[in-house]
Amino acid sequence: MPEIIVKFDDKVIERIVTEKKRISIGRTRDNDIVLENRGVSRKHAMIEFNDRAAIVMDNESLNGTFVNNRKITEEVLRDEDVITIGKYQLIYHTEHSQEHDTGADFDGTMILNTKRQKKLLENDRVEKELVSKYGGSVLLGEENAEFTEFRLDREVTTIGKAKFVHIKVKGFWISPIQAKVTNENGHHVLTNLGKKGKTLVNGEPVTMCNLKNGDLITVGRTTFKYVEGCK
């Protein structure tokens, strides 16, 4: 995936890895890359990605978009090209590098996913059907006598009562993010992140737990069954 490193005064302030086909850059928060400063237009520029190339386009911005210090309207990007917008420099990398020269405690890599499909599928199918359909592991939740399935196809799946978590649960002591399920080399690991409320596996409170097929996970008022996918 391509990576864009955002610098301000030669200091890395953010790293963005994207799988989007097109990303917008500008001052307002509806942009994918938000640059909140003078000299940046509301909708300043755009980068489009196709299989072969990335193209940066200036959106008739007031102060212009520069690639390697040359003013452009449209330009094909090469690895390590430097896009200058206002006081910011955006360094384009064709591939996201794992080697980060990050500052202390700063791992600001942000992944821009394509629109997350949040629509949850209604489900009353048998577990085998679920697994064969997805080929991956699933959390099967029972709430209000209605089964809901949650695919564990992300690196991290969050559970809690915040607006945006992947799996929302209710409960008085539940934290905004009460727990997370992480994919670690094909295995799923459940970690409790709750401050007051507990996360239970098969009735026992856990802080961190390797999930096995059929484990029952209780978060707040909801219990999920962990159904392991085909390996």
Which H or E run contains 140?
strand 138-143
With CB under 8 A as the contact rule, the residue among 22, 133, 170, 195 that binds other proteins is: 195
First to last CA, the chain: 25
Helix, strand or coil, per DSSP, at residue 32:
coil
Cβ distance to other proteins smaller for residue 103 or 205: 103
149 binds other proteins (CB under 8 A): no
Q: How many residues bind other proteins (CB under 8 A)?
A: 29
Measure the CA–CA gap between 174 and 198, rounded to whole angstroms.
8
Cβ distance to other proteins smaller for residue 60 or 106: 106
12 binds other proteins (CB under 8 A): yes
> What does each C-alpha distance from 39 to 44, 63, 85, 170 come to in angstroms?
10, 6, 7, 45
Cβ distance to other proteins smaller for residue 154 or 225: 154
Q: How far is the CB of 74 from other proteins (least distance, A)?
A: 28
Cβ distance to other proteins smaller for residue 35 or 227: 35
Among 59-67, 122-130, 131-139, 173-181, the segment contacting other proteins (CB under 8 A): 173-181
Q: How far is the CB of 78 from other proteins (least distance, A)?
A: 26
* 8 Å CB contact between 5 and 12: yes
193 binds other proteins (CB under 8 A): yes
| Encoded tokens for 137 | 């592991």
- Which residues are paired to 182 by β-bridges? 156, 189
What sections of 102-183 are H helices per DSSP?
A: 127-134
* 8 Å CB contact between 108 and 16: no
87 binds other proteins (CB under 8 A): yes
Chain residues in the site for other proteins (CB under 8 A): 6, 8-9, 11-14, 27-29, 34, 36-38, 87, 103-106, 108, 110, 162-164, 175-177, 193, 195
